[in-house]
Amino acid sequence: MAKSGKIKYKPGDIVTIPLPEARFAYARIFEDHTFGIFAHWSAKPEPLAQVATHPIAFFVSGTDSAIKDGTWLVVGHVPFQDAEASFPPPVAICYDYDSNTWTMGRPMVTHKGTEKFVTAKEVAGLDRLLFCHKPALVAATIVDRLIDGNHAYYKVRPSGSSSSAAAAPALAPQVMQVAPNPSTTGPWGARAQENDDASDWLAGLEEEPGLGLGRIDEAFDQVLSAEPSAYLEVTECAEVVAAATVLAKMHGLAFAADIASDECMAALAKRAKRRSPKSTAALVQRALLALAAVQDPERSELRGLMVTQEHADLGAAWSKRMGQLVRGLKAAHRRLASA
């Protein structure tokens, strides 16, 4: 749900992260949506002076929505010595943990927005890039590593290792492995359906296509009913893009052809025939307004995750896709308005 207003923060800030079972962890904010997790947890919140005496145990990449809505409290600031120190260490990308292979053919890392190939020796022991797209997943990862001591799953396995992979934690299917660009395999992508939240929304649409137009309108409403300055979380943003893309397919836009099955689209078309051109034009206009909010760099968590220095190619592809979607829906709106 959209929150009213948002809290600003900067690298070097220290935040308190509530964990299950009335426990608290602490993190220092680094660049690139990364949290340095202190090697310490407590049964009640502790002051900065006590927290900052502990070293950083590991890093977690994830959403900052819980900071912006005030769930994770900023309790102080410890400045970095220089800009270089504000970046987390290199992490492995394009790596399949289960098979212990590299999807680009050889080891690859990302650091400070730059991706490069490295040797097996250089990547040995590094964490792999996993992105927690919900605050609860950040907390679950912290529990798994900090409290339960399960680190193996999050790291690159030894080169040539024939040993069994470490058991994946229960949260694993919900944590995204971020690919460096849209051409590589991975749950992030420029298309609307290449996102877990959007995929879930589309699956619901396929199950009950007769309710589709209502679901589309609800997706737009959760953004449009929020206050103008409200922070929009990744789930609601992803659902807006998915709903708008379905609407685009209903109006014959070719790039949206694979967003939903023919059976689902037929059911939607049947429902749409009951609406007047004026009513449909109003729905398209709502889609355009919601998409404008999703592309707002000050409000949209989805845009903040997609358009980053670290994944410039993915951000460019996503922005291009959004531009196509907006232009196509504007053309559809003009046709409907003149009907």
Average pLDDT of the chain is 84
Residues 167 and 231 in one domain: no
Q: Does residue 96 fall inside a structural domain?
A: yes
| CA dist., res. 98 & res. 101, Å (int) | 8
Residues 1 and 93 in one domain: yes
Instruction: Check whether 202 has a pLDDT greater than 90.
Output: no
Domain boundary among 178, 213, 242: 178
Confidence of residue 173 (pLDDT cuts 50, 70, 90): very low
Residue found by looking up tokens 């994830």 in the block: 62
Residues 61 and 158 in one domain: yes
pTM listed for this prediction: 0.59
Higher-pLDDT residue of 160, 120: 120
Q: Does residue 187 fall inside a structural domain?
A: no
Residues 221 and 164 in one domain: no
Residues 168 and 271 in one domain: no
**Which pLDDT tens digit goes with each residue over 97-143?**
888 888 778 898 988 877 889 999 999 889 998 888 778 889 999 99
Residues 152 and 240 in one domain: no
The predicted pLDDT at position 11 comes to 95
Count of domains forming the chain: 2
Instruction: Check whether 292 has a pLDDT greater than 90.
Output: yes
Instruction: Check whether 3 has a pLDDT greater than 60.
Output: no
Residues 285 and 204 in one domain: yes
Measured torsion, CA atoms of residues 193, 199, 201, 204, in degrees rounded to the nearest 10 = 120
What is the percent of the chain with per-residue pLDDT over 90, rounded to a whole number? 42
Instruction: Check whether 19 has a pLDDT greater than 60.
Output: yes
Residues 83 and 159 in one domain: yes
Residues 123 and 221 in one domain: no
Residues 39 and 107 in one domain: yes
Residues 162 and 202 in one domain: no
Among residues 301, 298, 284, 297, the alpha carbon closest in space to that of 338 is found at 284
For residue 33, the enclosing domain spans 1-178
Residues 223 and 90 in one domain: no
